[in-house]
Amino acid sequence: MKNQVQLITYVDRLGGQRDGADLRRLKQLLSDPSSPLAGVFGGVHLLPFFHAIDGADAGFDPIDHTQVDPRLGNWGDVKALTESLDVMADVIVNHMSSESPQFQDYAEKGEASAYAGLFLTLDAVFPHGARERDLLAIYRPRPGLPLAPVTLKTGERRMLWTTFTAAQIDIAVRHPQGRAYLSGILRTFADNGIRMVRLDAVGYAIKKAGENCFMMAETFDFIGEFAGEAKALGIEVLVEIHAYHQRQIEIASKVDWVYDFALPPLVLHAFNFRTAAALKRWIGIRPTNALTVLDTHDGIGIIDIGADTGDRQAHPGLVPPEELDALVERIHDASQGESRRATGAAASNLDLYQVNCSFFDAMGRDETAYLLARAIQFFLPGVPQVYYVGLLAGHNDMALLSRTQVGRDINRHFYGADEIATECERPVVRRLIELIRLRNRHPAFGGSFRLLASGDEELSLRWERAGEWAVLRVNFASLAHELSYSAAGGEGERFAFS
């Protein structure tokens, strides 16, 4: 994986038209010399582009995980994109759509179906029956149980695992059919030039009677085996987990790459409470094999800096609970109440541990503070990723939220080509693009990192390599700041945030 900033985007929401040429348009947007985004990114994470992109969960419930949605293009278009950029794709490990041909065949034929072993039943995990305490022990970040009763056309009634929604049927990943299904996805990706995969929802993939069924030892075993299979095909693996911060550190020690999901709320905390103390504590212990993010296609995680839900007293969070609660309220205030309409039980939102809001609006549309937040992200060890809405300093899309009543759609705007061109002329976007180019090109970021000593209200970060250096200083009490770096001729230069 290149040590350069990557873009996270839906293919059809960044200049797309769903006419079969969206992948080609994206390639042109990111590589054509006439585009303001030409050469800005070292890689791109394509959010689900499989058939179909508009299911119950915006593509995270694939009907056919090995087919590109024809409204976007085809595998040849994906392979063409990989010739100029590192491309990451999702392997939705835990589930597939109830509209998939495999599940439709199972629903039609029951146990006589060739796919009967592909879908996980309650009996497969609890062959002797499940007690109340067994079910209540299952880790569940959403309301209700991860199970759905289904009546097959044969008259058989089964209780199927549905960790996320009833339209997303869990895969029996340890069954030969489950293994073959996932292996086929990897081979298809490898054949078409994809060299990085994100394992979506992998923390829930293994279920075991009497356990919480989330990131168990058996889950790590499965991740290790799957990652080994991917590596044999030349593919790197990113594990996507929202969890208590100490758990994230443990996970990172056992996998190739993780997300730094604690960073977004900690950056917001630093600006809102005028202190870097919690952020610096995290910097001192955080895993460095991380993809740093401030925003993604999901909401801003809260669980990642809170106390362990299993034992809050023994395992406190990175910030006190009262400050965490206050931070959520301050995000709502900064967004003029818009995020409140998309978060919690509002708007059919299911992820109760996330705040749905564009990151720019979560920061009250303060352009200087927003660029400083990005600078902090880019200065931390790891590979930065920037979400397409964040790239354009996007606002909350209340019209889309109103139409779909899906909370996360507040931060999933559809940008047309003209709108992209206009947004790229905004000073905050132009400065962000310049900041990305600095992070990609300056040699210091390939060297060694230091967190410099400073007071609780200050953050000082330094990179250096073979006489080259870059330093970022932010005082959260006064908002004084400076980003300086070595330049040709031994002179130092400063980055202008406004």
CA distances from 323 to 60, 305, 319, 363 (A): 33, 11, 6, 16
pLDDT(104) > 50: yes
Q: What is the pLDDT of residue 348?
A: 36
Q: Are strands 257-260 and 236-239 parallel, antiparallel or unpaired?
A: parallel
Angle at 201 between CA 198 and CA 203, to 5 degrees: 105
Give phi and psi for 158, each to the nearest 5: -130, 150
Instruction: Say whether pLDDT at 24 is over 50.
Output: yes
Burial of 459 (0-12, 13-18, 19+ CB in 10 A): buried
Residue 57: its pLDDT value, please?
A: 85
Rounded mean pLDDT, 73-78: 98
* pLDDT tens column, 182-197: 999 999 999 999 999 9
- Taking the C-alpha atoms of residue 240 and residue 214, their distance in angstroms, rounded to an integer, is 12
CA distances from 57 to 61, 96, 168, 273, 360 (A): 6, 11, 9, 35, 24
Asked if 200 is an active-site residue, the reply is yes
Write the DSSP symbol of residue 55: S
DSSP 310-375: T-TTTS--SS-HHHHHHHHHHHHHHTTTTGGGGSTTGGG---TTEE---HHHHTTT-HHHHHHHHH
Distance in angstroms (rounded) separating the CA atoms of residues 270 and 373: 10
Mean pLDDT across 308-322: 84
pLDDT value of residue 264: 97
The mean per-residue pLDDT over the stretch 26-54 comes to 97
Question: Per the structure block, which two tokens stand in for 78?
Answer: 């994906």
Q: Which of 77, 240, 338, 409 is catalytic?
A: 240
Tens digit of each residue's pLDDT (9 = 90 or more) over 388-409: 999 999 999 999 999 999 999 9
- pLDDT at residue 350, as a whole number: 39
- Is 240 among the residues known to form the active site? yes
Question: For the chain, what is the mean pLDDT?
Answer: 94
Higher-pLDDT residue of 476 and 491 is 476
Q: What are phi and psi of 163, to 5 degrees?
A: -55, -35
Distance, in Å, from the CA atom of 278 to the CA atom of 281, rounded to the nearest integer, reads 5
pLDDT of residue 346 exceeding 80:
no
Whole-number pLDDT of residue 309:
74
Q: Does residue 35 carry a pLDDT above 80?
A: yes
What confidence category does residue 349 fall into, taking pLDDT thresholds of 50, 70 and 90? very low
146: tokens are 């991860």
d(CA 50, CA 92): 11
Distance (Å, rounded) from C-alpha 233 to C-alpha 308?
Answer: 37
* Cβ neighbours, 10 Å, residue 349: 22
> What pLDDT is recorded for position 97?
96
CA 304 to chain centre: 13
Long-range pairs, 140-143, Cβ under 8 A, ≥24? 141/242, 141/303, 141/351, 141/352, 141/353, 142/350, 142/351, 142/352, 143/350, 143/352
Annotated catalytic residue: which of 200, 338, 351, 409?
200
* pTM (whole model) above 0.75: yes
* Mean pLDDT within 72-82: 98
Residue 140 — very low, low, confident or very high, per pLDDT cuts 50/70/90? confident
Question: CA-CA distance, 452 to 413, in Å (whole number)?
Answer: 38
88 CB-contact burial (10 Å; exposed 0-12 / middle 13-18 / buried 19+): buried
Q: What does the CA dihedral 475, 356, 292, 424 come to, rounded to 10 degrees?
A: -80
Q: Could you tell me the pLDDT band of residue 457, with boundaries at 50, 70 and 90? A: very high
pLDDT tens, 251-298?
A: 888 888 999 999 999 999 999 999 999 999 999 999 999 999 999 999
**How many of the other CB atoms lie within 10 Å of CB of 375?**
21
- At residue 44, the 3 state secondary structure works out as strand
Q: Is the pLDDT of residue 37 over 60?
A: yes
Q: How confident is the model at residue 312 (pLDDT cuts 50, 70, 90)?
A: confident
Rg value, the chain, Cα: 23
Q: Which pLDDT score is estimated for 345?
A: 55
Eight-class DSSP state of 396: P
Residue 6: Cβ-neighbour burial (10 angstroms; 0-12, 13-18, 19+)? buried
User: How many Å apart are CA 286 and CA 342, to the nearest integer?
Assistant: 30
Q: What is the pLDDT of residues 412-427, one digit of tens each?
A: 999 999 999 999 999 9
- The yes-or-no verdict on residue 308 having pLDDT over 90 is no
